[in-house]
């Protein structure tokens, strides 16, 4: 069996996959095919996809089937999210996507090293589990969720460790957006190295 054939036999726990627009961060507004992997041990209290936490609750899907479904969508941008997708070896999935000239991003808490040659690394650290050093080195985008006034200082602590090419984003936790949006706007006015990230897909009522 050659490497390509072996890849087709790899399976990953998939909660859902769908075509939508990327709603957040640097790539907001782009057509994107999301692959949401199941399984997470970070435990964010405000997580809006808690049903993704238990991997055993979701089917194992072959890499080949994931890629074929994505190809049918016609888009060339894939976002691997979760759950916590870095819990898995993503080499096979990313390699097959690259064979199809599909640009691939990951959304991760940074708690695990990412295994696979990802094109875009969105690092969203959480207080519930510490990131690995690699996250700061590899991140293309640092996206910090603002859920409490102290989170601005916490965001700066992470920004001080990030690589110099990384883009910086502050995003209000959805249920507290009315409270924190004005504070984020004012903060960015005086700290222009940051940008605002909004969950535009929720405003648009799309997945």
Statement: residue 9 has pLDDT above 80: no
Distance of CA 99 to the CA centre of its chain: 22
d(CA 42, CA 39): 10
Residue 126 token pair: 């959480």
Is residue 1 very low, low, confident or very high in pLDDT (cuts 50, 70, 90)?
A: very low
Mean pLDDT of the residues in the chain: 94
Residue 53, pLDDT score:
93
- Residues near 203 by beta carbon (within 8 Å), at least 6 away in sequence: none
Mean pLDDT on 26-31? 98
| Residue 140 to residues 78, 94, 111, 151, 164, Cα–Cα distance (Å) | 16, 17, 16, 21, 9
Domain 3-204 belongs to what topology?
TIM Barrel (3.20.20)
Mean pLDDT on 165-194? 98
The residue with greater pLDDT, 9 or 34, is 34
Is residue 7 very low, low, confident or very high in pLDDT (cuts 50, 70, 90)?
A: low
The residue with greater pLDDT, 68 or 43, is 68
d(CA 168, CA 85): 21
Residue 47, pLDDT score:
87
Q: What is the pLDDT of residues 31-66, one digit of tens each?
A: 999 999 999 999 888 788 999 999 999 999 999 999
Instruction: For 17-37, give one letter per residue: b (16+ CB within 10 A) or e.
Output: bebbbbbbbbbbebebbbbbb
């Amino acid at each position: 069996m050659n490497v390509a054939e072996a890849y087709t036999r790899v399976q990953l726990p998939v909660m859902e996959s769908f075509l939508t627009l990327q709603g957040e961060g640097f790539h907001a507004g782009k057509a994107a095919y999301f692959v949401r992997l199941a399984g997470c041990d970070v435990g964010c209290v405000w997580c809006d996809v808690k049903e993704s936490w238990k991997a055993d609750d979701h089917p194992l899907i072959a890499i080949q089937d994931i890629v074929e479904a994505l190809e049918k969508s016609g888009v060339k941008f894939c976002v691997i999210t979760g759950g916590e997708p870095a819990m898995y070896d993503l080499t096979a999935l990313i390699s097959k996507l690259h064979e199809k000239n599909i640009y691939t991003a990951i959304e991760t808490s940074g708690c695990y090293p990412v295994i696979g040659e990802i094109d875009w690394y969105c690092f969203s650290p959480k207080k519930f589990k510490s990131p690995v050093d690699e996250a700061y080195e590899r991140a293309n985008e640092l996206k910090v969720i603002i859920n409490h006034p102290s989170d601005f200082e916490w965001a700066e602590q992470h920004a001080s460790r990030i690589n110099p090419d990384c883009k910086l984003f502050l995003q209000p936790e959805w249920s507290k957006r009315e409270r924190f949006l004005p504070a984020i706007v004012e903060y960015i006015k005086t700290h222009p190295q940051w940008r605002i990230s909004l969950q535009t897909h929720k405003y648009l009522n799309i997945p």
